[in-house]
């Protein structure tokens, strides 16, 4: 019988249908009336953590530690819970505290909640993240709607679908050429206008995933920009691939929190360091404001 966090050993990158179903059954047995079928799943990255607190009744909060087979996030500030409720009249689950491979989890463990969402009935997944800006036209606190991605770990063999395929979720070789739903992307830009986000603060672009936890070097940032990357981060793509494998629609949103450094000469290192220190508080305030905009944006899209 499954018990909370009865995970396979870390070196086993495989879960059976029963492993996922144990988590889903635990959750379903506790969902209140009105939330028997969840329609929307939101992975709350930077800028959306407060969205879970705005979900309306009926509500339910479950900590990861109490859900069978859920791994815990070790990132400081990540609460580690699923919050259920209604958002714009739709039954919704918010994942507060995502798991990252750089914490020591296998990729399959980091995306475990996405497959559980599928078993709960989720049809649409909104994935959010904080990202560095590669595109020189992007400013801190801008929002990028993800059009496509480049997954460097995946190109080197580190893919969340490696291992025995579970046909109950999807095919062995799923296409991801159109992973990010076109209609949802259009809806995101329309919603941005409705909630008053300036047009110049909204972009569409390519998200590059790196493994982390170290940030990209200047040479790596130049490379990512040269191959078409507009933003860079350490998450999102595995969740997107697994969601698409299971037939769910996906929308990805990046909050640009910093500019990546590509070239710095010896003469301007000190000047750049001083500029970063002077502008740090302004960046924090702007990012906090955009966090509210991100929440309003998602509520309107849903």
User: Catalytic: which of 46, 73, 106, 135?
Assistant: 46
Name the catalytic one among 69, 73, 106, 235.
235
Would you list the DSSP string of 130-148? EEEE-STT--TT-EEEEEE
- 258 labelled catalytic: yes
CA dist list (Å): 74 to 16, 22, 30, 77, 100: 25, 23, 26, 9, 9
Task: Show Cβ contacts of residue 216 under 8 Å, excluding neighbours closer than 6 positions.
Answer: 132, 210, 224, 232, 260
Q: Are 14 and 164 in contact (CB under 8 A)?
A: yes
User: Which is the catalytic residue, given 26, 78, 135, 243?
Assistant: 78
**220 annotated ligand binder:** no
Known binding residue 123? Answer is no
Catalytic one of 102, 187, 211, 220: 102
Is 235 annotated as contributing to ligand binding? yes
* Active site (annotated) includes residue 100: yes
Q: Is there a binding annotation on residue 258? A: yes
78 flagged as catalytic: yes
Q: Is 25 annotated as a binding residue?
A: no
Choosing from 194, 280, 282, 292, the catalytic residue is: 280
Catalytic residue list contains 103: yes
Does residue 214 have a known ligand-binding role? no
User: Which entry of 123, 187, 258, 259 is annotated as an active-site residue?
Assistant: 258
Residue 245 marked as a ligand binder: no
What sign results for the dihedral spanned by CA atoms 212, 214, 220, 226? positive
d(CA 249, CA 66): 28
List 22, 100, 243, 291, catalytic entry: 100
Is 100 among the annotated ligand-binding positions?
A: yes
- 109 annotated among ligand-binding-site residues: no
Nearest to 301 by CA among 249, 265, 224: 249
Catalytically active residues, by annotation: 46, 78, 100, 102-103, 130, 234-235, 258, 280
Point out the annotated binding site: 46, 78, 98-100, 130, 216, 235, 258
Point out the annotated binding site for a purine D-ribonucleoside: 216, 258
């Amino acid at each position: 019988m499954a018990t909370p966090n009865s995970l396979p050993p870390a070196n086993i990158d495989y879960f059976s249908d029963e492993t996922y179903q144990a988590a889903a059954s635990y959750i379903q047995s506790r969902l209140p009336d009105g939330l028997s079928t969840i329609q929307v799943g939101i992975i709350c990255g930077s800028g959306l953590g407060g969205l879970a607190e705005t979900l309306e009744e009926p509500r339910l909060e479950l900590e990861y530690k109490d859900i069978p087979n859920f791994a815990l996030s070790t990132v400081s500030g990540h609460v580690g819970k699923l919050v259920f409720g209604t958002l714009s009249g739709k039954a919704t689950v918010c994942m507060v505290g995502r798991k990252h491979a750089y914490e020591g989890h296998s990729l399959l463990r980091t995306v475990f909640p996405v497959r559980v969402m599928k078993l709960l009935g989720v049809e649409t997944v909104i994935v959010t993240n904080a990202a560095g800006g590669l595109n020189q036209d992007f400013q801190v606190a801008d929002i990028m709607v993800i059009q496509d991605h480049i997954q460097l770990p995946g190109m080197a063999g580190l893919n969340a679908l490696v291992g025995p395929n579970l046909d109950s979720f999807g095919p062995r070789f799923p296409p991801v050429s159109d992973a990010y739903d076109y209609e949802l992307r259009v809806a995101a830009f329309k919603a941005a206008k409705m909630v008053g986000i300036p047009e110049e603060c909204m972009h569409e672009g390519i998200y590059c995933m790196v493994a982390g936890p170290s940030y990209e070097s200047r040479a790596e940032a130049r490379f990512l920009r040269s191959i078409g990357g507009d933003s860079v981060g350490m998450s999102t793509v595995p969740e997107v691939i697994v969601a698409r494998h299971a037939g769910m629609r996906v929308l990805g949103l990046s909050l640009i929190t910093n500019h990546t450094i590509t070239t710095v000469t010896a003469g301007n290192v000190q000047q750049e360091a001083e500029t970063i220190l002077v502008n740090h508080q302004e960046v924090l305030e702007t990012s906090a404001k955009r966090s509210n905009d991100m929440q309003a944006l998602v509520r309107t899209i849903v």
